[in-house]
Amino acid sequence: MRTIIEPFRIKMTEPLKMISREERCAALAGAHHNVFLLDAEDCCIDLLTDSGTGAMSTRQWAALMLGDESYAGSRSWKKFEEAVRTITGMRHILPAHQGRAAESILAECLVKPGDIIPSNSHFDTTRANIEYAGGGAVDVLCARGLDTALDAPFKGDMDVEGLERCIATHGRDRIPFCMLTVTNNAGGGQPVSMRNVREVKRVLARHGIPLVIDACRFAENAFFIRECEEGYKDRTLLSIAQEMFSHADAATMSCKKDGLANIGGFLVCNDDAWAEQFRTLLILREGFPTYGGLAGRDLEVIAVGLFEALDHDYQVYRHATVEYLGSRLVARGIPIVRPVGGHAVFLNAAQFLPHIPALSYPGVGLVNALYIEGGVRAVELGSVMFGRIDAAGVETPAPLELVRLAFPRRVYTQSHFDYLIEVIEEVWRERSAIGPYRITYQPKLLRHFCCHFEPPAP
Ligand SMILES: *Cc1c(COP(=O)(O)O)cnc(C)c1O
């Protein structure tokens, strides 16, 4: 059969509230024109993030009831530890309530003021945690990754020569570790090849610099490696993931992504001295090292979810949903990042709205238009999220102005995507009417979550 179907059927439903355009206009104004500040109920198709928004399986719901809520050494912890060790092969497994908690422990223990942390692309919370510790988060993405129109595999790869230059410029002593984000969320959800993981590790090993993998979408990445990299087509996703982690010295994970859970994360490493430092801070911030800010039932759910994410049929379906939307937008001439990523379709807001300069935030204009048109909630990944403001208050735009439509796992059906395509097409037709935005309030760090915008005058 050519038709790829959802490899599950639906046992429980959750109603979507349908509201009118007038109600959406009022809701957006009430949210200071920042969709992060909307009530979720007022969003018909919520593609803000794929993080923690997935649907659990019957096996996960059943596992949840087995949760052992003992404070220390619970049965649920044992299952979690075994699952994470099977996949990552790491000696030390530390649970955390979500990815950023793992990142904050990593950064606080290892990053000193003036340090430099290279990555293919840092995600926003990773960057913020490094900067908060006084370090510099440097993106060393391959040139292909910046060309949004280039339809090539593994555009999430790190620029290996760029990494060599980075080490030569800053010196090994100022680089406590290097990161690789798989898949590369900030860079269009593009995968990283095994070959690149190996080459990055080879360069780092020569300088004695550890490699930390930001593993949030490790299973989606493993699927891309199986599909697109020579020598992997007969391998299981688990064995591909294991091979990838075998090159790393540590990893951070948000189980809200490829853990198929609504909450959770972990920090893993091989080095005993690192583990001791991490554990101390973990107890201070997250909780005892056998629960790390999670309930026993959460640990159960993650232990099941990590393996469901590595199920081949699930990944075939997952990728087919992203491809379905992507190919239909391409057919209509709507500018998206090619090829589509593992968890999202990224609209190119700079090309969608060429009449809006970067510092008038075309991504925000597009996000807000999608909400008004169809109650679709997307997110800007452009100058609001990644722009830099220097000490003198001068703002530098981000390299790309993207809008991400992230797909919650196992949540929306094909008719939801057909509706979405219609909404995007309508916004595309009326795009010249979209105007510039201005920021009227912003906090210093992670401004995109809470800032207020002023829309163009009507
Ligand atoms: C989501 C995400 C994080 C942070 O994880 P949270 O669970 O949201 O704290 C870090 N890195 C990447 C690549 C992510 O996608």
Give me the count of residues in the chain: 458
Structure tokens that stand for 87 in this block: 């996949």
**CATH code matching the domain that covers 58-308, chosen among 3.40.50.10480, 3.40.640.10, 3.20.20.70, 3.30.2350.10:** 3.40.640.10
Regarding beta strands 45-46 and 376-377, do their DSSP bridges make them parallel or antiparallel, or are they unpaired?
parallel
CB-defined site of ligand 1, < 6 Å? 51, 98-100, 123, 125-126, 181, 185, 214, 216, 254, 256-257, 265
Task: Please determine whether the domains at 21-50+312-454 and 58-308 fall in the same fold group of CATH.
Answer: no
The tens place of each residue's pLDDT in the chain, 458 residues long, gives 889 999 999 999 999 998 999 999 999 999 999 999 999 999 999 999 999 999 999 999 999 999 999 999 999 999 999 999 999 999 999 999 999 999 999 999 999 999 999 999 999 899 999 999 999 999 999 999 988 889 999 999 999 999 999 999 999 999 999 999 999 987 778 999 999 999 999 999 999 999 999 999 999 999 999 999 999 999 999 999 999 999 999 999 999 999 999 999 999 999 999 999 999 999 999 999 999 999 999 999 999 999 999 999 999 999 999 999 999 999 999 999 989 989 999 999 999 999 999 999 999 999 999 999 999 999 999 999 988 888 888 999 998 899 999 999 999 999 999 999 999 999 999 999 999 999 999 888 778 888 999 988 87
The predicted-structure confidence for 399-457, as pLDDT tens digits, reads as follows 889 999 999 999 999 999 999 999 999 999 999 999 999 999 988 877 888 899 998 88
Give the predicted TM-score (pTM) of the model.
Answer: 0.94
Domain boundaries along the sequence of the chain:
21-50+312-454, 58-308
Kindly give the number of the ligand 1 atom that is closest to the alpha carbon of 265.
Answer: 7
**Bridge pairing between strands 388-389 and 211-214:** unpaired
Task: Return the H-helix or E-strand segment holding 450.
Answer: helix 447-450
Encoded amino acid at 274, one letter: W
Among 48, 121, 123, 213, say which to mutate for ligand 1: greatest number of ligand atoms within 8 Å of CB.
Answer: 123
Rg (CA), the chain: 21
Q: Helix (H, G, I), strand (E, B), or coil: what is residue 263?
A: coil
Distance from C-alpha of 363 to C-alpha of 414, rounded to nearest angstrom? 26
Contact criterion met (CB below 8 Å) for 239 and 89: no
Pick the CATH number of 21-50+312-454 from 3.40.50.300, 3.50.50.60, 3.90.1150.10, 3.20.20.70: 3.90.1150.10
Burial 416-443 (b: 16+ CB within 10 A, else e): bbebbbebbeebbeebeebbbbebeeee
